[in-house]
Structures are given as C-alpha cells and as structure tokens.
Amino acid sequence: MNHVKKGPKALPHQRNWRSWGSVKKYNSPLLLRLTTHVYLSKQIRFFKKKDYMLKIKLEDIPFNLDPWDCELDEDVIENITSGDYFIEYVKNNPKPFQITFAAFVNAKEYFLYAWDGEVLIAGNVEHGTLYEDFEEIPMEEYDEKWREITQSEEIPDELIEEMDWGLIYPENSTKDLNSIIQSIKKIENLNIVENEYPDKIKFIVETLDKKSCLKHCFWKKDEITILSISYFRTAKYEIATSDNDFPNFVLESIPEGDGKIDSIKINSIQNNILSYKELELFDEWFYETIFPEEFDNNEKSKIDQDIEEQGEDVLKKYGFNKLKTDMWMWGRIEIKNELNKTIKVLND
C-alpha cells in the first residue's frame, strides 16, 4: 500500500515539536534529554546532509523506519521523524501530500505528516497505546502486533484517533489547527469536532503549588517491566475540548500518594477532552527507577548510573521499549482560556 497520499485529501493533526523547545518529544518530542552540545552537533550534521537528504524522494521513504529494518542512515531517519526533512521539502514543493510511517525513536511510534500547500502538520502516537494494561502485555504479542502493522503499511484508525497533533511549519502561522484538519479532509475516521469557536476551545492548565507534578513511564523488555518515576516542580499543558466547554477533568488520587482525591491525569483523553499538549515541565527534582525484585543487582546499578548520566532513554540500549507515560497534577490547578484569563482554579 502506498502510504503517501498526494492531493487535497491529505489527513493530519500532532503536537508542535518545534514549539516544545529546541528539542522535544521530539516530548515529549524525541530528544528530551539531549544536551545542548549534542543537539547542536546533530543540527550541524543535518545542514551538512541537507542537500543529500533532499535527494531522497518523498515516495521512497519506507513505511518502516525502524533502524533495525531500514537501510537509511540513522541521522536521516532522525531528521525525517523530527520533521526537519519535511520542512525543507515543503519549502520547494508546494503540492499537498500526506505520509505515514513507523519508527523506533523514544519508543515504537507511528507518525503522520501532512502538507496542504500552506501549513505542515504532524501526528504522533506510541505503539503501546493499543494496550490498556501495559504491565500484563506479553512482549511476543506486543512485537507481533508491531510487525503486523509495519508489514501492512497502514496505521490503524484507533491509533490515529489517539494521536497528538501540532502545527510545525511555518512557526508563525495563525491558522487554526482544527480548521486545517477540516480543510485537509479525511477526518471521517477521526474523533475531531469542527472548531466553531477556535479561540475558546483550548485551555491552559498549570499547577500553582510547587512540587505538584508526577510522571510515570513504563518500560518493558520480554516479561520485565521497569517503572521510572519523576517529580517536577511545575507543569503546564494545553487542553482542547470537543464541545467548546470547560474541560471535564476526573479527580483522582495519585499512586502511592496521601489518598486525597485532588489530582488529574493531565495526559488522558476523557469526557469532553479532545487532545492535550505538553507546554512545559520545569525542574525535575526527583527521579527513581523501580526494578522487579528478581532483577540482577549488578545490571541494576549499571543502568541506574547510565540513567543518571544520560537520561532514562538510555534504557533503549538495554532492549527496553517505552510502553506508556502517565502524568498527574495535584493541588491548586489553574485553568485559563486562550485570552490568558483565569476561568477556574481546581482544589482552591
């Protein structure tokens, strides 16, 4: 199946990787823990390779960009998944297109890029989103499903519905993301509601109390599950609602907390919450990795040391896949509209 769809019926939506700071997800986007030196060195390599990269035809980009299965250079794969390739491409190619592909970056992930002739948007979702109970997933089943999707060269509708979306080029575009999605069409399979009031359906959600943010990341290798725990001083997210109404958060208690029902899982699609986008995580003041009791102590010490020096993404070197990320806020949580007006403070 040809995963490149040219013409006005291209599909889109994903978080703004370029607005998440100079390196993000890549988030969460992709290179969250790279140092400035490493990032700049990669950018220098990119610009040196730019002419070479643009000789790669759009239709020649394979669906499966897993480095284990793809013959492209790792730096080229990185620039494709981050969107740099497409930004350079659309500067010289005004014809609309849509492309989907799979890649193993932070985790096994699926990507969608779409260009309508004016704006480039992107979507991204992790393979583990297919599963509700990540700790019980047999790795054989997890890997087999990945192989099935990469061989079919088509992202399942349920994963497209769970994608994070964003506008990545041009950075100064004032076009509304939902309007772009509507114009690009092929949204009949997406759970997207047309934005009747584009300046009112997005809300900024931010913690007011310090040290009130918790992140859990689950990593899996074979039958072994590792949990990484991070606490941040503050966090800020953008939330879009499907009905132009106030976000209907579900209050809950955080894992191993004091039992108070004063927390929200901010990266969760629930009730009228249509999408979420991380804007800021500030000051990771605590980090811990939880290993199974039977885990080898020597390997545990080595992994802990590598994580301290290089960040948790080093777990990929040990064969672990990131399956799921949960993020909680608690305490006083301020909610503003896009006019920066406070409309409510939870737990006040």
Please compute, for residue 128, the number of CA atoms within 13 A of its CA located in the half-sphere on the CB side.
Answer: 23
Contact between 225 and 135 (Cβ < 8 Å)? yes
String of b and e for 226-237 (b: at least 16 CB within 10 Å)? bbbebebbbbbb
Residue 1 banded pLDDT, cuts 50, 70, 90: very low
pLDDT for 100 beyond 60: yes
Question: 244 or 342: which carries more pLDDT confidence?
Answer: 342
Residue 16 banded pLDDT, cuts 50, 70, 90: very low
DSSP sequence for 34-74: --HHHHHHHHHHHHHHHHHHTTS-GGGS-SB--TTT--S-H
Residues above pLDDT 70, as percent of the chain: 74
Structure tokens given for 160: 């497209």
State mean pLDDT over 128-145.
78
Q: How far apart are CA 3 and CA 17, in angstroms?
A: 22
Q: How far apart are CA 114 and CA 100, in angstroms?
A: 9
DSSP sequence for 178-240: HHHHHHH---TTS-----SSTTTSEEEEEE-SSS-EEEEEEEEETTEEEEEEEEEEEEEEEEE
Q: What is the pLDDT of residue 202?
A: 82
Q: How far apart are CA 339 and CA 205, in angstroms?
A: 13
Q: How far apart are CA 333 and CA 252, in angstroms?
A: 14
Residue among 45, 44, 43, 163 at smallest CA distance from 102: 163
- Residue range 39-80, pLDDT digits in tens: 444 444 444 445 445 557 788 889 998 877 777 888 788 888
Q: How far apart are CA 303 and CA 318, in angstroms?
A: 8
Residues with Cβ within 8 Å of 170's Cβ and at least 6 positions away in sequence, in order, are 119, 120
pLDDT for 203 beyond 70: yes
Tally Cβ neighbours within 10 Å of residue 243.
12
Q: What is the pLDDT of residue 55?
A: 59
Q: How far apart are CA 322 and CA 258, in angstroms?
A: 28
Q: What is the pLDDT of residue 209?
A: 92
Q: What is the pLDDT of residue 170?
A: 82
Q: What is the pLDDT of residue 105?
A: 73
Q: What is the pLDDT of residue 212?
A: 92
pLDDT for 21 beyond 60: no
Residue 298 banded pLDDT, cuts 50, 70, 90: very high
Q: What is the pLDDT of residue 291?
A: 93
Q: What is the pLDDT of residue 228?
A: 92
Residue 245 banded pLDDT, cuts 50, 70, 90: confident
Q: What is the pLDDT of residue 8?
A: 31
State mean pLDDT over 257-265.
88
